């Protein structure tokens, strides 16, 4: 009993003894629901360990109040640096202020935190993700008549969801203006939940009928929801559906033909980069960056990792060749 108490006490106290050589990183995640975030977390922890750091992970289950509390608790445990994937890039501003007051540097991971004094932003090019989705669909739409599409955006609380839409708009808006494409239904899937995407797709078919050429969906989880709805109507495989993340289930759907494409984001590159940057920042160094992005409060030093468009033709040479999924898992 006494021993267990001592272990508990020591583990709680560990961050208090953090040192620059053995930094403690606080990783605050919005969610672990989508497969990708579990990979992000695992790679991040592995890489941080290799660099001599310890990681304390918190996941907020898509709840802003909880995530603010998570970050405050990491601050009170005196972590050396915070890495945050915000559920809501605007709601996290307050928590970042607390980190600033405690002089703990903050790295925004994959999603930007708006109007806040953050130190780094490490991400994929989210506008390019949207452009990849839009142009994949656009290239395959019927050209002899006005194509009819449904658009399912991500969580309205996620700044990335707006960037994906912006990228899609860059490609689709000129076609819409020219009368070549008609958006027959569009909506935002709250919290990126597949069941919300399914409802949107059901509503689209009820409103616009079965005559739909493509559903431009912003990620694989919500694509899965939309495809379920299409399946119920006997339309799966007949309507082009886009996605993002190269989730295992999505790659399987691509092989089966119910989803046309996904956007592969090599998470190991981003997670390993973030671990390196976090350790350097914790050691008082200034990691090199390649871009700067305005978050409403400052030009945030940023790095954008590359993305890859994936469909059945290059699934093996990208996702499988990279070891992201095993060939056997895709059979
Ligand atoms: C990420 C996507 C992810 C989505 C839902 C976005 O911010 O960029 O990769 O699918 O959140 O978690």
The pLDDT tens digits of the residues spanning 80-99 come to: 999 999 999 889 999 999 99
Which atom of ligand 1 is closest in space to residue 110's alpha carbon? 8
Same domain flag for 22 and 79 = yes
Query: Nearest C-alpha to atom 10 of ligand 1 is from which residue?
Result: 219
Residue 2 lies in a domain: no
Instruction: Kindly state the average pLDDT of the residues 182-193.
Output: 98
- Name the residue of 67, 110, 308 whose CB sits within 8 Å of the most ligand 1 atoms, as the mutation to test its pocket: 110
Higher pLDDT, 317 or 11: 317
Q: Is the pLDDT of residue 292 over 70?
A: yes
* Closest approach atom of ligand 1 to CA 123: 8
Q: Based on the domain organization, do 154 and 256 belong to the same domain?
A: yes
Q: Read off the pLDDT of residues 14-54 as tens digits, 9 standing for 90 and up.
A: 444 445 679 999 999 999 999 999 999 999 999 999 999 99
Mean pLDDT of the chain: 94
Mean pLDDT of the region 273-294: 96
Q: Is 192 in the pocket of ligand 1 (CB under 6 A)?
A: yes
Residue with CA nearest ligand 1 atom 9: 245
Mean pLDDT of 95-108: 98
Distances (CA, A) of 80 to 22, 51, 105, 314: 10, 14, 7, 41
Whether residues 47 and 95 fall in one domain: yes
Domain with 145, as residue range(s), is 126-265+310-330
Task: Give yes or no: residues 79 and 221 share one domain.
Answer: no
Residue 8 Cα to chain centre, angstroms: 34
Give 229-280 pLDDT, tens digit per residue. 999 999 999 999 999 999 999 999 999 999 999 999 999 999 999 999 999 9
Residue 46 placed within a domain: yes
Q: Give distance in angstroms: CA of 20 to centre of ligand 1.
A: 32
Place of tokens 């695992």: 42
- Whole-angstrom Cα distance, residue 110 to residue 44? 13
Do 250 and 171 reside in the same domain of the chain? yes
Tell me, yes or no, whether 160 and 236 share the same domain: yes
Cβ-Cβ contacts under 8 Å for 9 (sequence gap 6 or more): none
Q: Would the pLDDT of 11 be above 50?
A: no
Domain tally, the chain: 2
Do residues 155 and 238 share a domain?
Answer: yes
Within 8 A by CB and 6+ apart from 32, the residues are 38, 41, 59
Ligand 1 atom at shortest distance from the alpha carbon of 37: 12
Res 16: pLDDT:
45
The answer to whether the CB of 47 is under 6 A from ligand 1 is no
Say yes or no: 277 and 301 in one domain: yes
> What CATH number is given to the structural domain containing 165?
3.40.50.2300
Is a pLDDT exceeding 50 seen at residue 113? yes
Confidence (pLDDT) at 19: 54
Residue 93: inside a domain, yes or no? yes
Q: Tell me, what DSSP letter sits at residue 14?
A: G
- Residue 195's pLDDT is what? 98
Looking at residue 20, its pLDDT comes to: 66
**Contact assessment for residue 206 and residue 182, using Cβ atoms and an 8 Å cutoff:** no
**Neighbouring residues of 72: CB distance < 8 A, sequence distance ≥ 6:** 95, 98
Distance separating alpha carbons of residues 212 and 205, to the nearest angstrom: 8
Q: Is the CB of 219 under 6 A from ligand 1?
A: yes
Q: Please tell me the distance between residue 219's alpha carbon and the centre of ligand 1 in angstroms.
A: 7
- Determine the residue of 92, 165, 244, 310 to mutate for testing ligand 1's pocket, defined as the one with the most ligand atoms within 8 A of the Cβ atom: 244
Percent of the chain with pLDDT over 90: 92
Same domain as 69, residue 28: yes
Q: Are residues 261 and 274 in the same domain?
A: no
Ligand 1 atom with the shortest distance to the CA of 220: 10
pLDDT value at position 6? 44
Residue nearest to atom 5 of ligand 1 (CA): 192
């Amino acid at each position: 009993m006494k021993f267990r108490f001592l272990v508990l006490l020591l583990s709680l106290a560990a961050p208090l003894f953090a040192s620059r050589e053995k930094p403690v990183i606080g990783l605050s995640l919005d969610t672990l629901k989508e497969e990708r975030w579990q990979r992000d977390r695992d790679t991040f922890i592995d890489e941080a360990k290799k660099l001599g750091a310890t990681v304390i992970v918190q996941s907020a289950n898509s709840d802003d109040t909880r995530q603010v509390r998570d970050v405050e608790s990491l601050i009170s445990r005196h972590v050396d640096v915070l890495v945050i994937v915000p559920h809501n890039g605007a709601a996290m501003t307050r928590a970042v202020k607390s980190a600033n007051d405690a002089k703990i540097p903050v790295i925004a991971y994959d999603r930007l935190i708006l109007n806040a004094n953050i130190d780094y932003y490490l991400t994929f090019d989210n506008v390019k993700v949207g452009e990849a989705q839009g142009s994949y669909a656009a290239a395959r739409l019927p050209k002899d008549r006005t194509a009819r599409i449904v658009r399912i955006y991500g969580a309205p609380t996620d700044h990335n969801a707006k960037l994906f839409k912006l990228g899609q708009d860059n490609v689709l808006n000129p076609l819409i203006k020219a009368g070549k494409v008609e958006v027959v239904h569009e909506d935002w899937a709250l919290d990126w939940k597949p069941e919300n995407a399914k409802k949107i797709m059901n509503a689209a078919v009820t409103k616009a009928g079965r005559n739909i050429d493509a559903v431009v969906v912003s990620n694989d989880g919500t694509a899965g929801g939309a495809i379920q709805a299409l399946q119920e109507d006997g339309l799966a495989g007949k309507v082009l559906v886009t996605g993002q993340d190269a989730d295992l289930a999505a790659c399987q759907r691509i092989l089966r033909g119910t989803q046309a494409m996904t956007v592969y984001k090599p998470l190991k590159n981003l997670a390993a980069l973030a671990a390196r940057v976090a350790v350097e920042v914790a050691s008082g160094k200034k990691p090199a960056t390649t871009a700067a992005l305005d978050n409403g409060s400052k030009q945030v030093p940023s790095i954008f990792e590359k993305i890859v468009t994936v469909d059945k033709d290059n699934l093996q040479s990208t996702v499988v060749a990279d070891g992201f999924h095993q060939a056997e898992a895709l059979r």
